[in-house]
Each structure stands twice: as structure tokens, then as C-alpha cells.
Amino acid sequence: MEAADNLTDLDQAREEARRCGVDLMPTDGGLSLAADGMRLVPDFRALLPRLRPDRLGRELLVKAAKVKAGGGAPLAVDATAGLGQDALLLAASGFRVLLFERNPVIAALLQDALRRAAADADLADVAARMAFAGSDSIAGLRLLPAPPDVVYLDPMFPARQKSAAVKKKFQLLHHLERPCDDAAELLQAALDAHPRKVVVKRPPKGPFLADVKPSYSLAGKAVRYDVISLPPRRSETVQ
């Protein structure tokens, strides 16, 4: 898949990082985020064990996003991509994935990780099914030329707090993350795109996104996936 022309401006991303009290800088290993004596260089290679066929099929997200086979690879839109780990799981399971990320710092880290994955023999085939599509997923969903098969939403968990229980590297992202303040609009844009299903990542005991009850949920110890199944598209009902 080809990346969008609207790539994140690195100078803009570095300025935004400084404003948030962190440093965004290139290193030999890739673009890094640093603050408080911690450094984060996103690397998809860390997820390789989870991409093995014997493990991938057990991933709750993969189960939640699964759709019936049609013509060609199904399309998923990750509207809140973050650092792209979930999108990588979807791509490894056979989806083509469009990734949107609104925060320019996280988007720059994501695009750098995608570039490195594309040059990695172990990840190139999966990375070829992933493309950064821009910052504004609400507008992007409305401009899709055809309905996607799945729209995936992972808004920031409510009341997320810094604590010793949070991995240090993710503490860096707390400098940048902000709670999703347009959840209802985001979900509506996902529904209006007419996918087969919308998959929403939530805390195990968290409320439904925008108070919309899902068709069903798949829950684990640390996360729950709410699945909203939509009626078949008109073209799918015609035999």
C-alpha cells in the first residue's frame, strides 16, 4: 500500500514535542522520544513473537476484527493508530490497513517505524499492507472511495493515570496523549463509513464508547473489544 502524501512534518513534530516537555530526535536505531531519563524508539520487531501463526489467531483483536473472506484482502481503517502495534496485528492477519494518527509527535514515530519495518526482511511483507493515511481520521473516513471492512477505534482509556504499574516507556506518551474529546463524532464517522463492523478497544470494565451498546464484546484480563456489526451492504445482499 502506498503512503499518503500528507506525511507528518518532522520540524513541526519536534516543536510539538518540545512544547510537551519531551525530545524527538533521530538516533542510529530510529526516531526516538526522550524525557525524564527514559527513551522510546518504537520497533515493530518486538511484536514478532505475537505474529507467529500459532499465536496470531489467539489475539482478541484478530478475533474481533475477523470478517468473512471476500474478493482480495479486506480493508481495515485504524482511526487512532498510536504507535501502530494493533495495526500490525491486523496486517499480519491479512488486512490491508490505513492508519490515522492525530498527534504529530506520535505520527512521526509511527511513520519512522513503518519505514524501518518496510526494510526489515522479517516485517516487509506485513508492512507492505500498512499505510499512514493522515492525521484527521474523521475527515479521512468520510473521504474513503469505498466502504472499508472494519474500522478500529482505540481512544485513550478514561482516567488513565501515571503509576508504577505503567511500563516506563509508555509513561513518555503521557506527555503527549490527551483524552478523546470527540468520541461521539469519531464513532459516528466510523459508522457512517458503512464498514462490516466497528471494533472499539475499551478497559475491561469501562463504559461503552459514546454510550453506544455493541452487538457483542470479547473481553480479556486487560482489555475488552466491543464489536458493532452493521447490516450487510446492499451489494452484498444481491445474489
* pLDDT tens per residue, range 13-52: 999 999 999 999 999 999 999 998 899 999 999 999 999 9
Q: What is the pTM of this model?
A: 0.90
Span 187-211, average pLDDT: 96
Distance separating alpha carbons of residues 152 and 195, to the nearest angstrom = 10
Distance separating alpha carbons of residues 135 and 212, to the nearest angstrom = 25
The beta strand positions in 71-124, using DSSP E, are 75-78, 96-100
Identity of the residue numbered 75: L
* pLDDT tens per residue, range 48-74: 999 999 999 999 999 999 998 777 899
The neighbouring-strand residues paired with 151 are 77, 198
Span 148-166, average pLDDT: 68
Q: What is the residue-averaged pLDDT of the chain? A: 89
pLDDT of 149 over the 80 cut: yes
What would the grid cell of residue 126 be? Answer: 506485513
pLDDT at 70 (0 to 100): 77
pLDDT of 224 over the 60 cut: yes
Span 99-124, average pLDDT: 96
Span 4-15, average pLDDT: 81
Span 176-184, average pLDDT: 74
pLDDT of 162 over the 90 cut: no
Run of H or E residues at 199: strand 197-202
What would the grid cell of residue 107 be? Answer: 505520527
Distance separating alpha carbons of residues 102 and 4, to the nearest angstrom = 14
Distance separating alpha carbons of residues 132 and 1, to the nearest angstrom = 9
162 near 171, Cβ under 8 Å?
yes
| 48 contacts: CB under 8 Å, gap ≥ 6 | 122, 123
Distance separating alpha carbons of residues 2 and 129, to the nearest angstrom = 9
Q: Of the ranges 20-29, 44-53, 142-151, 225-234, which one carries the lowest mean pLDDT score?
A: 225-234
pLDDT at 236 (0 to 100): 55
Closest of 86, 140, 82, 136 to residue 111, by C-alpha: 82
37: Cα separation from own chain's centroid: 27
- The percentage of the chain sitting over the pLDDT mark of 70, rounded to a whole number, equals 87
Give the CA distances from residue 172 to residues 9, 10, 47, 114, 128, in Å, rounded to whole numbers and listed in that order.
21, 18, 19, 20, 28
153 near 199, Cβ under 8 Å?
yes
pLDDT at 168 (0 to 100): 59
pLDDT at 174 (0 to 100): 76
Span 139-148, average pLDDT: 96
Q: What is the DSSP letter of 72?
A: B
pLDDT at 172 (0 to 100): 79
